[in-house]
Structure 1
Amino acid sequence: MGFFRTVKEDIKAIFERDPAAKNTLEVLLCYPGLHAIIIHRISHSLFRRGWVVLPRVISNIARLMTGIEIHPGAKIGKSLFIDHGMGVVIGETTEIGDNVTIYQGATLGGTGKEKGKRHPTIGDNVVISSGAKVLGPFKVGNNSKIGAGSVVLKEIPPNCTVVGVPGKIVVKDNKKIRPVYNEIDLDHTKLPDPVSDELHDLRKKLFALEKRLNDMERSQEDEVI
C-alpha cells in the first residue's frame, strides 16, 4: 500500500472512531496522533533502509511536537488511531496490526536489556485504553481489549478483555469477531472489576459468618434460660 493511501486510511479511521472529528482539514491540522503516525511512517521507511541517526532524530522531533514517542523501528499496520496520545510510548520491536486504537498514556514496552524481540506484538482490532502498559515480547490476540491502567505481562488470546495489575482476562469469546474497524468495540469504560467482585464475595461471606455467630449466641442464651 502506498504512503498516501495509507495516510488516507489513517484519516478514515479517525472519522470512524472519534465523534469529535468534524472535517478532514481539522483532522490534518489538529490531531497529534495522526501527525505522529505520518512522521513515523517516514522515519520507519528510512530505518528499514539502514539509516540509524536520522530516523531517531525525526522521531524525537515528532515526540516534541506531539507528546507521542514511537521508535522508528516499530512496525505499524494500517488504520492506527492514537486518541489524544500524550504520553504514548511504542518501543523499537513493537508490531501493531491493522485497525488498532491506542489511548493516551499507554506504553508498548520491554522488560529488560535483552536483545532481539523485546516488545509486544499487537493483533488486529485491538483497543489499548488510557494508561495501560503492555510489557514484553508476547502477542495480544486479535479483537482484544485492555482496560485503563492495566499492566499486561503475558500473552493474551484473541477476543479477550483484560483488566487489573497484573492484567487478568475477564472476558473471552463472548462477542463476535470484528474484522473491520468500523465495528470495533471502543467502549473501554464499562469493564468488569475483579477486585470489586472479590470484595463483594468477601462481604457476603462475612455477613454469613456474622449471622452464624448471632444464631449460636441466641442458642446459648436460650439454653441458659
Structure 2
Amino acid sequence: MNKPDVSYSIFQDWRANRGNIKAQFILSLFRLATWVRSNKILIILFIWYLPFYRFFVEWVMGIELPWSLKAGRGLKLQHGQALVVHGQTIIGSNCGLKHSTTIGIRMNPDGSVGRAPIIGNNVDIGAHVCIIGAIEIGDNVAIGAGSIVVKSIPPNCVVVGNPARVVKVNEPVTSSYS
C-alpha cells in the first residue's frame, strides 16, 4: 500500500464513519500501521509506532484490528469496542462492524490452523456476531445480531441465527447507469 492509497483509504473510512470520532481515529491509526508494516524502510523508521498502535488500540481501546488485516476502503466501526478480527482475514470495501464481534479462524482436528474468513463488499455485520473458519461471505450480505456464521454465505442475502441461516434473498443491486 503506497502513501496515496493510505490517505485515500483514511478519507474513505472517515466518510463512512462521519460523526464517529473514535472510529475515525482508530481507523486512521490502523491504516498508518498497515502502511508502516508494508515497507522495510518504514518499519525501521517508525519501529516505535507498531508497539504504540498495538498497545493503544488493543489494550486501551479494546479493539483487535491487526495491521496484517486486509480491509477495503470505507470500513465502518459502530460502537467500536470488544471487536476481535484475525490478522489473516480479508474484508471488502464498505463493510460495517458492530461491537462485540469476533472474526477468526478455526483449529483443525489435527491441531493445524485453518484459513481466516473472506468477507465481500457491502457486508453489514451485526453486534455480537461470530464468524469462524475458512468461509466466504458474499457481497451485499446483512448478518443479524448474535449470529454464529460457520458456513459460507451467498451474495445478496440476509442471515440470522445460531447457526446462521439465510432468511431472505435480495435482488442483486444493479446500476441504472450501465
- Displacement after TM superposition at 1:71 (Å): 1.4
Residue 114 of structure 1 corresponds to: 112
Q: Is the 8 A contact 2:9 2:31 kept in 1?
A: no
Could you tell me which of 126, 141, 145 is aligned with 2:123? 126
Which one has the bigger strand percentage?
2
1:73 is aligned to 2:68: yes
> What are the residue-to-residue correspondences of 1:175-214 with 2, within 5 Å?
175-177=171-173
Residue 11 of structure 2 corresponds to: 8
Mark the structure with the bigger radius of gyration. 1
**TM-score, with structure 1 as normaliser:** 0.66
Could you tell me which of 88, 91, 98 is aligned with 1:93? 88
**TM-score, with structure 2 as normaliser:** 0.81
Q: Is the 8 A contact 1:32 1:66 kept in 2?
A: no
> What per-residue deviation string (whole Å, max 9, x for no partner) do you get for residues 52-80 of structure 1?
x8635522321234221111110011000
Residue 33 of structure 1 corresponds to: 23
Cα separation, 2, equivalents of 1:105 and 1:99:
19
**Gaps spanning 5+ residues in structure 2: where?**
none
Residue 149 of structure 2 corresponds to: 152
> What per-residue deviation string (whole Å, max 9, x for no partner) do you get for residues 148-171 of structure 1?
000000111101111111111111
Q: Is the 8 A contact 1:74 1:95 kept in 2?
A: yes
Cα separation, 2, equivalents of 1:177 and 1:64:
40
> What per-residue deviation string (whole Å, max 9, x for no partner) do you get for residues 179-223 of structure 1?
8xxxxxxxxxxxxxxxxxxxxxxxxxxxxxxxxxxxxxxxxxxxx
* Matched pairs, number: 164
1:135 is aligned to 2:132: yes
Q: Is the 8 A contact 1:33 1:68 kept in 2?
A: no
Q: Is the 8 A contact 1:48 1:73 kept in 2?
A: no
Task: Identify if the C-alpha distance between structure 1 residues 124 and 56 changes in structure 2 by more than 3 Å, giving closer, same or farther.
Answer: farther
Cα separation, 2, equivalents of 1:166 and 1:146:
12
Which one has the bigger helix percentage?
1
> What per-residue deviation string (whole Å, max 9, x for no partner) do you get for residues 109-157 of structure 1?
1112634x62111100000000001011221100001110000001111
Cα separation, 1, equivalents of 2:146 and 2:9:
30
Cα separation, 1, equivalents of 2:133 and 2:173:
25
Q: Is the 8 A contact 2:17 2:23 kept in 1?
A: no
Residue 162 of structure 2 corresponds to: 165
Q: Is the 8 A contact 2:130 2:147 kept in 1?
A: yes
**Alignment RMSD (CA, Å):** 2.3
Cα separation, 1, equivalents of 2:112 and 2:25:
31
